[in-house]
Amino acid sequence: MADDSQVSQQPAQPPEAKTEASELDYVTRREIGREAVWSLSSAKPGNGVDQLRDDSTDTYWQSDGGQPHLINIQFHKKMTVVEIAFHLDFSSDESYTPKKLSIRAGSSFHDLVEVTVKELHEPVGWVRVPLFAPGGGGAAAIAADAAGGAEGPVLRAHFVQICVVAMHQNGRDTHIRQVKVFGPRLASVQHDPSLLEFISPEFETFACIR
């Protein structure tokens, strides 16, 4: 149960490709995590939600309880969620680093449906996980949207849960340094030139580049 007070012997493989923060897509997407209430299944004092969301990759959430470790993200209304990005650092966190993540969504804690599973190998940097609504129905809060792309229908949900299923080296507790939740960036009025017409002759002179 979430603590409300915390408002896969294989050949050696290269680490997960590192994605710099500047490579996260803020052009076509917007970070919507600030619009949600966050809670954790457990946390070591001083390593909770605040550290998970403080925009610093030097801090981290550290779980402090039995598995599975959960991050619960609850929105006040149904939201379109297109991607979740995690900052992980195996070079520093070693056995605390997640190896397998399950992302679930629904209308509440009680009707969650698994959306995707992400397997990781010694990740360092940002790991981006695109999200689409699962096929075959599921919770009423998950709906296919007409704007869904070729890869799958859009995921819409009130509640998103991140489950850390397993850690590297059979670790027990986990470190996650940052989590970002992205929705689509909607077209705004100021980006439509046809809706910005100058009225006075003085301002009309600045309507085009000469």
- Dump pLDDT digits (tens) for 12-41: 444 444 445 557 999 999 999 999 999 999
209 domain-assigned: no
109-160: pLDDT as tens digits: 999 999 999 999 999 999 999 999 987 444 434 444 434 444 568 999 999 9
Asked whether residue 210 is domain-assigned, the answer is no
d(CA 16, CA 206): 49
Domain that holds residue 70: 4-204
Q: What is the CATH number for 156?
A: 2.60.120.260
**Domains: count for the chain:** 1
Specify if 177 maps to a domain. Answer: yes
The predicted pLDDT at position 167 comes to 98
In a domain, 182, yes or no: yes
Q: 103 lies in a domain?
A: yes
- Dihedrals φ, ψ of 183, to 5°? -115, 175
CA dihedral for 2, 177, 155, 101, sign (positive or negative): negative
